[in-house]
Chain A
Amino acid sequence: SQQGEEDPQALSIQEGENATMNCSYKTSINNLQWYRQNSGRGLVHLILIRSNEREKHSGRLRVTLDTSKKSSSLLITASRAADTASYFCATALASGGSYIPTFGRGTSLIVHP
């Protein structure tokens, strides 16, 4: 089952515009992570936000977390064609003494030059 669900499923914008993706999750978390996947490639970790943080920045990325609503958003500012990729949120579910990163279905972002 999916722990996180991203919204929208697909997003198409022009270069220079901002892109906002949302993620909802079901259980309480210690942190939430965002990953990027270029077509057919591996996932690359972008940013981690802890449950006691409300906002975090990394370059052109801004992540917010609202634990009361069990939701997070990823904002990419001044998007570039190279930002075209799928973006996933992930939370780590406790399982048998381990934590298992569990992903939503992702948001497919297309940035037109």
Chain B
Amino acid sequence: DSGVTQTPKHLITATGQRVTLRCSPRSGDLSVYWYQQSLDQGLQFLIQYYNGEERAKGNILERFSAQQFPDLHSELNLSSLELGDSALYFCASSVTVADYGYTFGSGTRLTVV
């Protein structure tokens, strides 16, 4: 157990639907990062939050949004889902915004049918 908790572990949903993925960072970590991992695109950075504020944005689609709550857990919302959104979604956390010390969760496997 890495200390980063992601729920649910698996999610199957239909095209056009909306889902919410949840991440609880390791205790004491203020920064949360979201990644999408697919076979053809590898591990792609989506978005980062630090202490409730958005700090960096990567290749995140407009249909996707995220937020970090006062208790530091984060949610990634995916809407108008397409077949191509099927992937593993990971979150990672770190204490600060430094260039080391990242801990990954075990991921949510999203399947869009």
Contact = CB atoms under 8 A, between A and B. Distances in A.
Interface of A: 2, 30-31, 33, 35, 40-45, 48, 88, 90, 92, 94-106
Dominant secondary structure at the B interface: strand
Given A98-B31, A99-B99, A104-B42, A42 B104 contact: yes
Interface of B: 2, 4, 31, 33, 42-43, 45, 48, 50, 55-56, 58, 88, 90, 92, 97-100, 102-107, 109
25 contacts: A2-B42, A31-B100, A33-B100, A33-B102, A43-B92, A43-B104, A44-B2, A48-B100, A92-B99, A92-B100, A94-B99, A95-B48, A97-B97, A98-B31, A98-B48, A98-B50, A98-B56, A98-B97, A99-B98, A100-B33, A100-B45, A101-B45, A101-B102, A105-B42, A106-B42
Contacts of B56: 95-96, 98, 100
Contacts of A48: 100
